[in-house]
Amino acid sequence: MNQRTDDIINRAVIINRLDSITGEMGIALEHSAHSPIFAEACDFACCICDQDGELVSQISGIPILATAGAFSVKALLRKYGSRIDDGDVFIINDPYDGGNHLPDIGIITPIFYDGELLFFSVSRAHHGDIGGSTAGSYNPKATEIFQEGIRIPPTKLMKNNEMIQDVLDLITLNTRNPEMLTSDFLAQIGSNRVAAKRIKEMLATYSVETVRKAVQDTLKQTEALTRKRIAEIPDGTYAAVDYIDDDGFQEEPVKIAVSVTVTGDHLLVDFAGTDPQVKGFINTSVVTATCASGIAVLWFLGKDIPRNGGAFGCIDVNLPKGSLVNPYEPAPMTLCTLTPASEIIGTIFQALDQAISGRVAAGYHRYLGPSYYGVDPRTNRYYVGFSFCSLGSGGAMQGHDGNPYMATLSNFGGVKAPNIESNEVQYPHITLYHEMDTDTAGAGEYRGGCGMKYAFELYAEQSDVVNFGDGIKFAPYGLRGGQQGSLNRGVFVHDGQEIVMASKENPRHAVKGDRVCLNTSGGGGWGDPLKRPIEKVYEDVRDEIITKQTAETVYGVAITAAGIDFEKTEKLRGTK
């Protein structure tokens, strides 16, 4: 074989090996973590960056976290420069300096080989509590980031492979469950060590120069492919607007304005016209807004483009200072990885769909669900729980119905719903029901996924419930004639009295027997509902996804006890 053939083979093998390493990192983290958020919901991500902080591989976890890994490494490099040694481990979460929001804590391990810094392994994970004025650290009434939890700039956590106990104590002392936090830090550190071990094994097989060349060539090749795909989009500016319900203080909706300008092989996502920063915790870090923009554009460009620094570097993003997507300190922003990250992606989808139709999905559900906390009567220990079971559904796209029961757009289904039984073991509550909700899927030639009905009852003598999220006022959008999905709704039943919850509210005091009842939204539809195949409409009725009435009035399909009434259906659809 000639040298060029060797290089191609080496590049394919090395990059696929790095991808498998990030996958192994995720498995190690999932199986070694103490927190149900890691072990059950898998609310984490793993990635590998090169010595300059460029993202090389991110295959395990949720995109809004994994993509942010490069920002964290670059923040670390800015602060420490050459003062990074073999055996160091670093920690970071500050959204104003390389993080996306406070609960997502990054653990960064530099990887040396023969005395040379070559890579960083990064695990980023959502922790159940990182301090602040509300347990669980989602405080819908926070007006400053200081009320949301402890801020950690790039900081050395380990030296010579030994924990710096003073740093660990300083962080964990500011949280409500220091033992669990410490345990989960160790799981992240262990996950990074798996990557370091595997990468060193790879470097022992290949030379450092071979691996370095494979990485550099992959980044260049990815950039070339990304720019080629951008150049295939018709030149022009494509604009869209979407809205967030409110910020928890003002009643008025908050606007996200996006224009995507394509000029040759250059693409700019511009947020000029987006509302100024707000009082509440929906402000968005630069890292989150930039990552969300990249995720949306790369979905549109194609799944075969590797999600590495070569691709993300092709996407320019303008985030006006002082706006919702680039606030001045010390604006709060804990909700930003859900809302407005998901709405940013959806707004860019709506803009790009004007350029080339059929590549992106209709609107996904917006997260809405409470955290709940108190003392578990079974153990007499403090707990913080999240209703990860209150997921909604995805939007349809050309050729595909929306996926039911999945995480928001910013997570692309990466967050998993915990098993109901194990969730009841972990937290003092009982699930009352958990099922799909009829007539909630956005209608279309391809329909959205169904919304869900979920309710649970608390049995601790005293606890607190904090509802947070969005989607009570604005439903998931439809595309190309598809209809909107349904709205979210939450009800708190206290002493038998039903109270409709706002999407962002102060903690509610709960007593034994109180209930939380949630209706999560179905995804938006794609295309004219009257073009949906008659047999599929019939199947949806049989599966109780839609009612006979909806089949007739929305889809133009008449169904009786005997089956499809084809003659009436032809009249309803105007085909006779």
**pLDDT, tens digit (0-9, with 9 covering 90-100), for 260-301:** 999 999 999 999 999 999 999 999 999 999 999 999 999 999
Q: For residues 407 and 542, state if they share a domain.
A: no
Q: For residues 214 and 157, state if they share a domain.
A: yes
Structural domain span for residue 144:
3-222
Q: For residues 474 and 562, state if they share a domain.
A: no
Alpha-carbon distance of 329 to 327, in angstroms, equals: 6
Domain boundary among 189, 222, 255: 222
> Which residue, among 194, 152, 518, 202, has the nearest Cα to 369 in the 3D structure?
518
**3-class state of residue 459 by DSSP:** coil
45 near 63, Cβ under 8 Å?
yes
Q: Is the pLDDT of residue 143 over 80?
A: yes
Residue 326 per-residue DSSP state = B
Alpha-carbon distance of 157 to 182, in angstroms, equals: 12
pLDDT in tens, 208-243: 999 999 999 999 999 999 999 999 999 999 999 999
Tell me how far the alpha carbon of residue 465 is from its chain's centroid.
Answer: 23
At 501 the pLDDT is: 97
> Once rounded to an integer, what is the mean pLDDT over residues 148-154?
97
Q: Could you tell me which residues are beta bridge partners of residue 262?
A: 236, 267
Q: Which two tokens stand for residue 503?
A: 């999407």
In a domain, 316, yes or no: no
382 near 373, Cβ under 8 Å?
yes
218 near 11, Cβ under 8 Å?
yes
Share of the chain above pLDDT 90, in %: 89
> Which residue, among 112, 534, 133, 504, has the nearest Cα to 283 in the 3D structure?
504
Structural domain tally of the chain? 3
Q: For residues 508 and 542, state if they share a domain.
A: no
Q: Which two tokens stand for residue 86?
A: 């073999």
Predicted confidence band at 2 (pLDDT cuts at 50, 70, 90)? low
From residue 123, alpha-carbon distances to 15, 83, 171 in Å are 19, 21, 18
From residue 225, alpha-carbon distances to 228, 236, 305, 361 in Å are 5, 20, 7, 23
- The dihedrals phi and psi of 271, each to the nearest 5 degrees, come to -100, 20
- The dihedrals phi and psi of 58, each to the nearest 5 degrees, come to -150, 90
Q: For residues 182 and 121, state if they share a domain.
A: yes
pLDDT in tens, 429-465: 999 999 999 999 999 999 999 999 999 999 999 999 9
Phi/psi region, residue 161 (left: phi>0; alpha: psi -120 to 50; beta: rest), is left
104 near 152, Cβ under 8 Å?
no
How many CA atoms, within 13 angstroms, populate the side-chain half-sphere of residue 564?
A: 20
Q: For residues 441 and 542, state if they share a domain.
A: no
Q: For residues 64 and 120, state if they share a domain.
A: yes
Q: For residues 515 and 541, state if they share a domain.
A: no
At 485 the pLDDT is: 98
Alpha-carbon distance of 99 to 68, in angstroms, equals: 7
In a domain, 48, yes or no: yes
At 60 the pLDDT is: 64
How many CA atoms, within 13 angstroms, populate the side-chain half-sphere of residue 480?
A: 26
Residue 529 per-residue DSSP state = G
Predicted confidence band at 576 (pLDDT cuts at 50, 70, 90)? low
What lies within 8 Å, CB to CB, of 372 at 6+ separation is 384, 385, 387, 427, 429, 458, 463, 464, 465, 466, 510, 516
Q: Is the pLDDT of residue 347 over 60?
A: yes
- Per the listing, tokens 């800015």 go with 78
From residue 251, alpha-carbon distances to 338, 504, 533 in Å are 20, 11, 42
Q: For residues 559 and 523, state if they share a domain.
A: no
In a domain, 143, yes or no: yes
| Pairing, β 368-376 against β 315-318 | unpaired
Residue 414 per-residue DSSP state = -
In a domain, 261, yes or no: no
2 near 10, Cβ under 8 Å?
no
Predicted confidence band at 66 (pLDDT cuts at 50, 70, 90)? confident
Q: For residues 501 and 561, state if they share a domain.
A: no
In a domain, 12, yes or no: yes
Domain boundary among 176, 191, 222: 222
| Pairing, β 315-318 against β 266-270 | parallel
Report which secondary-structure segment, H or E, holds 570: helix 566-573
Q: For residues 454 and 557, state if they share a domain.
A: no
At 175 the pLDDT is: 95
Q: For residues 391 and 504, state if they share a domain.
A: yes
At 418 the pLDDT is: 83
> Once rounded to an integer, what is the mean pLDDT over residues 302-306?
94
Alpha-carbon distance of 250 to 329, in angstroms, equals: 20
In a domain, 503, yes or no: yes
In a domain, 41, yes or no: yes
Q: Is the pLDDT of residue 1 over 70?
A: no
In a domain, 518, yes or no: yes
Q: Is the pLDDT of residue 351 over 80?
A: yes
Domain boundary among 222, 248, 269: 222
What lies within 8 Å, CB to CB, of 205 at 6+ separation is none
